[in-house]
Amino acid sequence: MKIVVCFKIVPEESEIQVNADRTLNLDGVPFAVSQYDCNAIEAAMRAAASYENAEVIALTVGGERVENGKVRKAALSRGPAKFVAVKGEGLDMGDSYAVAETLRSAIDAMGGADLVICGEGSGDMYRQQTGAMLGALLGAANVNAVSGISAGAEGTVRVERTLEDCAEVLDVRLPAVLSVTSDICPSKIPSMRDIMGAGKKPAEITESAGQPCAVESLGILAPEQTDRRQEVIKGDSEDDIKAFYELIQKALL
């Protein structure tokens, strides 16, 4: 059983500075595994425990950041047996199709996968499209909003989706691509032993074949800052409610 878990390397959000012109200053900002993908990695490890002889491979694509040793250890310390990365220009902020096509090519190059697990979205752009596109490109069964994974009948994986008024349980035929929610399970906090052991696990970085991006990113701006009015009305009398209503009407003019 081969399980591939896809993840993205993103800048540490808390370290990003916003310039006066609203552009983002990433100078010296460290990189990390996307927080949503940390949950996906743990979900992959728990799914692997449901099958005999299951192997989990961590797969990512991007630019120079895929060579970051600290991030590689961070991913491997969470359990995967191997790290595979595809390096290519424009993939850090590439459109979802280009990323999905690059992931598909990498999965095909490793002989395919029985199960592919993705986070619900990346920690930077959060487009929520890559998993669905990857499933279509692989010609595999594709399920999103997955909140539980376990072994199903032979040749299947059992997934749970938590909907508004019920829980949906499906037996999905393999191969399959699953996009998991952030609350599927808590992400693992690696121990020092896990981190040290991660450095001994195999890692493979290849160059992208150059899948063109259909969308060019012209820039990313932080939202404009708006001063809060800080007008507070205390009380619940008719006069207070009327004053509250008048404030809202005034703000909408």
Strands (E), 17-81: 17-18, 24-25, 31-33, 55-62
pLDDT band at 211 (very low <50, low <70, confident <90, very high): low
Taking the model in full, what pTM does it have?
A: 0.83
CA dist 239 → 246, 248, 250, 253 (Å)? 10, 14, 16, 21
pLDDT band at 23 (very low <50, low <70, confident <90, very high): confident
Residues 6+ apart with CB under 8 A from 5: 37, 40, 41, 43, 44, 56, 57, 58, 59, 80, 116, 117, 118
pLDDT in tens, 24-39: 888 888 999 999 999 9
The predicted model gives 217-239 an average pLDDT of: 83
Handedness of CA 144, 93, 67, 109 (dihedral sign): positive
Q: Which domains does the chain have, with CATH numbers?
A: 2-226 (3.40.50.620)
Between CA 245 and CA 251 the distance in angstroms is 10
Q: Which of 215, 251, 217, 219 is nearest to 233 (CA)?
A: 251
pLDDT exceeds 90 at position 76: yes
Residue 110 has pLDDT above 70, yes or no: yes
Q: Round to whole Å and give the CA distance between 118 and 43.
A: 10
